[in-house]
A and B are shown apart, each in its own frame.
Chain A
């Protein structure tokens, strides 16, 4: 059927790629390519299996709500332990030591907060998207349009950052051209989501999480063995060979400014709680109890992974940094700083394990972009099409068709943007995504669940204030104003806007709610008690559809 034809097409694409790459005379990594092909074949098999089980919109958006807490916990962990954190945080530790840990801790610390405040209430109130929760007692159209806008902004920016990162990484690891790498990621992403929906997306994420966790465990084990299972010996040798000496064991210049430190912390902690593809995962489990369990497992896996990264990052200071094999003629790390974890895999496990880790890094990107595409598509088909345009009158078939078309559209857009931004400096994008999620989605979601006084007018004003201030402040900050636009001095001195933009979002939502004296606002406040009872007890909550 269609899937097998796509498979053929993909095969053709990769063969063409290999030929192209050979022409370019880049070293081809056959182990990596072989293992990656295996992963792709296996996940396409899963997509086929999932496609047969994806019949309704509930299946498509939430895998029928039938996943267990453990499965969902692994999938959430998979979303968080992306290629950016695996390669990026280990690279930061390699270069700056302790500062890399600050990033890891910020993301991790968000998870208990998500558990205590959001997970269960979200599951009890919503069905497919977080807009279901915000619009529970507010007016559908304005809230859904704003929420869909917030979702799409975050999902697309995140997608572009991932696509560009993926293209560069694959170019390096597999010797494939940037164009073909971006095309391959885009086609596979659309394939997983349109055919297999949330079920395929989740299983791809779970498999990748298991592969990445086991691969990193092996790497950390081999590093520790190298140092006789003594972390003290590892830190001592790292400090002995690093240019900063024992400075790598203490916070460096990264967060010397208190405002920047707090702003970054807020952005990471609450940004995670505002990422639409993460929030969507809470609807894939059957009950609030399973939602709760999934965060417990996710926090455990993410924390474990970051502990492994400390060993991997500091171990590579010695095992990669002092090995001339991994440096080019000028003495720089081959492929750039982000490649240290990949080089370390070669150092501890030879070329076969290098191939494995390269394939896992690619798989990681695929799994994350699939989740992003699905959350973007659901904002279009569920929030915009079914709830706003058709006012809830669309049939399941129509909604499914729109969601598949939307996925295709997002895939095409992601490929085009990925190609446009190839040579742009987009490092600021990943920081922006979390700051925007923390300012646009989180305040309104939080207030809708915890504050009786929130009205439609306040919610829309809060989202808009958060979005505009986050973007404006970021453009005026050193990352864009100086580094991208080449002005002399930044108009906004801090590198992360989250502290200010999130406060403005809360302020806007509050101000425009308390001054809202309309009849609609009175009704909306009156409906809070029903919402509160359902969010606390789960009475009336959507049950798992089947499975």
Chain B
């Protein structure tokens, strides 16, 4: 690509919007995942007792439930990312590609 072409894409309103939306999605989901996982790690390190508490008076502990929830949340976050990118960001990207190919 020549520098004029690059400059044209860089200033293209669709590109500006794509970058803004994609970065917002990327960083908010990344922060969410880091908070979930390191929140859990810190809980293990500082308050292991909380995780050991029985759930509903049985043997199954709070920690076991939290573990399962983390597995499900990880999968859910990837699902949110894929869904949002497919439905919102990809169409925007495709339009940008088409316009810049002309």
Contacts and interface: CB of A to CB of B under 8 A. Distances in A.
Contact of B74 (A109, A235, A289): A109
B interface secondary structure, majority:
helix
For chain A, the bracket of interface size reads: 35 or more
A106 B48 CA distance: 17
A115 B52 contact: no
Given A292-B81, A537-B15, A540-B1, A116 B29 contact: yes
Interface in B1-47: 1, 6, 9-10, 15, 18-19, 22, 25-26, 29-30, 33-34, 36-38, 40-42, 44-46
Contacts of A117: 26, 30
Interface string A344-369: 00000000000000000000000000
B64 interface: yes
Contacts of A247: 52
A255 interface: yes
A257 B29 CA distance: 28
B56 to A, nearest CB: 9
A533 B10 contact: yes
Contacts of A303: 71-72, 74-75
Interface residues of B, number: 53
A307 B68 contact: yes
Interface string B38-77: 1011101110110110100011110110011011101101
Contacts of B46: 258
Interface in A99-120: 101-102, 105-106, 108-109, 111-113, 115-117
Interface stretch (A166-174, A261-269, A466-474): A261-269
Contact of B30 (A116, A246, A310): A116
Interface in A283-333: 289, 292-293, 295-296, 299-300, 303, 306-307, 310
Given A251-B51, A261-B41, A108 B71 contact: yes
Interface of B: 1, 6, 9-10, 15, 18-19, 22, 25-26, 29-30, 33-34, 36-38, 40-42, 44-46, 48-49, 51-52, 54, 58-61, 63-64, 67-68, 70-72, 74-75, 77-79, 81-82, 85-86, 90, 93, 96-97, 100
Given A250-B52, A289-B90, A293-B82, 14 more contacts: A98-B51, A111-B74, A113-B33, A116-B26, A231-B60, A249-B61, A251-B48, A261-B45, A262-B45, A292-B82, A303-B72, A303-B74, A310-B68, A537-B93
Interface of A: 98, 101-102, 105-106, 108-109, 111-113, 115-117, 231-232, 235-236, 239, 246-247, 249-251, 255-258, 261-262, 265, 269, 289, 292-293, 295-296, 299-300, 303, 306-307, 310, 529-530, 533, 536-540
